[in-house]
Amino acid sequence: MTVRAAVAGASGYAGGEVLRLLLGHPEVEIGELTGNSNAGQSLGVLQPHLRALAERVLAPTSIERLAGHDVVFLALPHGQSAEVARELGPDVTVIDCGADFRLRDKADWEAFYGSPHAGAWPYGLPELPGGRDALRGSKRIAVPGCYPTAVSLALFPAYAAGLVEPEAVIVAASGTSGAGKAAKPHLLGSEVMGSMSPYGVGGVHRHTPEMIQNLSAVAGERVSVSFTPTLAPMPRGILATCSARTRPGVSAADARAAYEQALRDEPFVRLLPEGQWPATSAVYGANTALLQLAHDPAAGRLIVISAIDNLTKGTAGGAVQSMNVALGFPEGLGLSTAGVAP
Ligand SMILES: NC(=O)C1=CN([C@@H]2O[C@H](COP(=O)(O)OP(=O)(O)OC[C@H]3O[C@@H](n4cnc5c(N)ncnc54)[C@H](OP(=O)(O)O)[C@@H]3O)[C@@H](O)[C@H]2O)C=CC1
Ligand SMILES: CC(=O)N[C@@H](CCC(=O)OP(=O)(O)O)C(=O)O
C-alpha cells in the first residue's frame, strides 16, 4: 500500500531530513511541499542535497495544500502545528515534529512554552514500554524532542528494571542544527566554531518536563531530572551523559543484563560491547541510538551515555519509524542504521 505524504516546513532542517528519508521509502510518494517565507522558492536552492526534488517548488503552508494526502508531516516552529492539525481530517495521519502535542500535563506546557495547551498525542518513541501499542493505527503522532529521545532511550531500561533511584542528572551536547535554520546571533559560525558552551541551565530547558514525563511513566513514580544542555561545534549529533543513583545491591553485571534484555529486539537502539563508547560520528545520518553504561561504585551511580543524530533518530527518523508502526509497515522501512564516516 503506497501512501502520499506532504511535508509542511520543507525548507527547514527537520523537513529536509524527513524528505531525505522519504526519498528512500519504498511505500511513500512525496506530495505537496510547503514553507513560509521561502514559498515560491525551489528545493534545488533550499535543500541542494535532495537532488531528486530539485525542481519542486514550495507552496505556502495552507490546509488546502495539505489536505488530500494520506500522511502529513509537520516540521513547523512550536505553536504552529495545532491549528493546521485541527483542520486536517481524522482520516489523515498527522505526524508533528514540533512540540505542540508532546506534553500530557497542561501546567507543564504552560510553564515551559508560555502558550495555551493544545493537548497530547500518542508519543513517537516506539521503544518505550507500550510505545508501539500506542502508535499502532494512530492518526496523530507527536515526535519527541531530540534531547528527550537521547535521554529516554538511555535511561528507560534502568527505570523499567528498578535499578536506579528516581533522580537523574543529565549533561548533553548537541550539534547546532538542533536550533533550526533560522539565523540566531549566538549561532554565528564565529561564536560556535572551536567552542562549547552551556545554555538553558538550572531546570529551565523545555525538554526537562518531557524527560520527566517519559522516565516517570516507566518508573511508576515521579523521576526528578537535572538537565544541562550544551552546544557543540558540529552540525549534527547529540551525546547525552546520563546518571542516576543505583538502588542498594545493584551491580554493573545487573545493569548490563537488564539493558541487554530490554534492548534485545530493538532494531535501532544498541548497547555497545564493553569497552566501546558511543560517538556522534558513528550515528551521523543513521536512525540509530548507541548506548554504553558503567557503574561507578564509589559514587553509587549508574552512568549511561547515548549518541544519536538529532535530525535522524532525534526527529525525522523517529517520525518515519513511528509512521511505519502507525500504518502497519515494517518498522525499519526507509530507515538505515548505516551512518556516514569519517
Ligand atoms: N532541528 C532539530 O534537531 C529538531 C527540530 N524539531 C522540531 O521541528 C520543527 C522544525 O524545526 P527546524 O526544522 O529545526 O526549524 P527550521 O527553522 O530549520 O525550519 C522551520 C520551518 O518552518 C517554516 N515556518 C516558519 N515559520 C512558519 C509559520 N509561521 N508558518 C508555517 N511555517 C513556518 C519555515 O519555512 P520558511 O523557511 O519558508 O520560512 C521552515 O520550513 C520545530 O518544531 C522543531 O522543534 C524537533 C526535533 C529536533
Ligand atoms: C542545539 C539546540 O538549540 N537544540 C534545541 C533543541 C531542538 C529540538 O529537539 O527541539 P524541539 O523541542 O524544538 O523540537 C534547543 O535546545 O532548543
Where residue 204 sits, what CATH number does that domain have?
3.30.360.10
Reported pTM = 0.97
41 and 132 part of one domain: yes
CATH number reported for the structural domain that contains residue 129 in this entry: 3.40.50.720
pLDDT band at residue 335 under the 50/70/90 scheme: very high
Distance 98 CA to ligand 2 centre (A): 10
Q: How far apart are CA 211 and CA 280, in angstroms?
A: 21
Q: Are residues 98 and 158 in the same domain?
A: no
For residue 186, what pLDDT band results from cuts at 50, 70 and 90? confident
Query: Which parts of 69-105 fold into alpha helices (H)?
Result: 81-87
179 CA distance to ligand 2 centroid (A)?
Answer: 5
Residue from 286, 281, 338 nearest 311 by CA:
286
* Assigned domain for 74 exists: yes
205 and 94 share one domain: no
Asked whether residue 341 is assigned to any structural domain, the reply reads no
The answer to whether 117 and 138 are in contact (CB under 8 A) is: no
Burial 249-281 (b: 16+ CB within 10 A, else e): ebeeebbeebbeebbeeebbbbbbeeeeebbbe
Q: Is the pLDDT of residue 120 over 90?
A: yes
Q: How many separate domains does the chain show? A: 2
Per-residue pLDDT, 182: 84
- Same domain assignment for residues 16 and 64: yes
Residue 20, H or E segment: helix 13-22
Confidence class of residue 111 from pLDDT cuts 50, 70 and 90? very high
Say whether both 272 and 183 belong to one domain. Answer: yes
> Quick check: CB of 148 below 6 Å from ligand 2?
no
**pLDDT above 80: residue 183:** no
Please pick, among 146, 239, 325, 326, the residue that the annotation labels catalytic: 146
Q: Is the pLDDT of residue 59 over 90?
A: yes
Considering the domain architecture, whether residues 92 and 198 belong to the same structural domain is answered as no
Listed in order, strand segments (DSSP E) in 76-179 are 93-96, 140-142, 164-174
Asked, for residue 79, whether it belongs to a domain, the answer is yes
Average pLDDT over residues 215-228: 98
- Would you say residue 220 lies in a domain? yes
Q: Are residues 14 and 126 in the same domain?
A: yes
pLDDT for 188: 85
pLDDT of residue 212: 98
Decide if 194 is inside a domain.
Answer: yes
Q: Residue 342's pLDDT band (boundaries 50, 70, 90)? A: confident
Would 339 be classed as within a structural domain?
Answer: no
Are 105 and 214 part of one and the same domain?
A: no
Q: Give the span between the Cα atoms of 147 and 224, in whole angstroms.
A: 16
178 and 286 inside one domain: yes
pLDDT exceeds 80 at position 179? yes
Residue 206 pLDDT greater than 80, yes or no: yes
Same domain, yes or no: 37 and 158: no
CA pair distance 316, 270, nearest whole angstrom:
19
* Residue 256 shares a structural domain with residue 179: yes
Question: Does residue 146 have an active-site annotation?
Answer: yes
Q: Which of 147, 170, 176 to mutate to test the pocket of ligand 2 (most atoms within 8 A of CB)?
A: 147
Please tell me the predicted confidence (pLDDT) of residue 191: 86
Residue 146 CB–ligand 2 contact under 6 Å? yes
Domain that holds residue 219: 147-310
Distance in Å, CA 207 to ligand 2 centroid = 8
Q: Count the neighbouring beta carbons within 10 Å of the beta carbon of residue 294.
A: 15
- Range of weakest confidence among 42-46, 86-90, 132-136, 259-263: 86-90
The percentage of residues in the chain with a pLDDT greater than 90, rounded to a whole number, is: 94
Query: Candidates 125, 315, 321, 322: which one to mutate for ligand 1, based on the most atoms within 8 Å of Cβ?
Result: 315
Question: CB-side exposure of 6: number of CA atoms within 13 Å?
Answer: 29
Residue 201's contacts (CB-CB under 8 Å, 6 or more residues apart) are 228
Are residues 224 and 283 located together in one domain of the fold?
A: yes
Cell numbers linked to 226: 537535572
d(CA 133, CA 84): 26
Residue 319 lies in a domain: yes
Domain contains 8: yes
Query: What is 150-169 written as a DSSP string?
Result: HHHHHHHHHHHTT-EEEEEE
What is the whole-number distance in angstroms between the Cα of residue 206 and the centre of ligand 2? 9
Closest ligand 2 atom, residue 97 Cα:
14
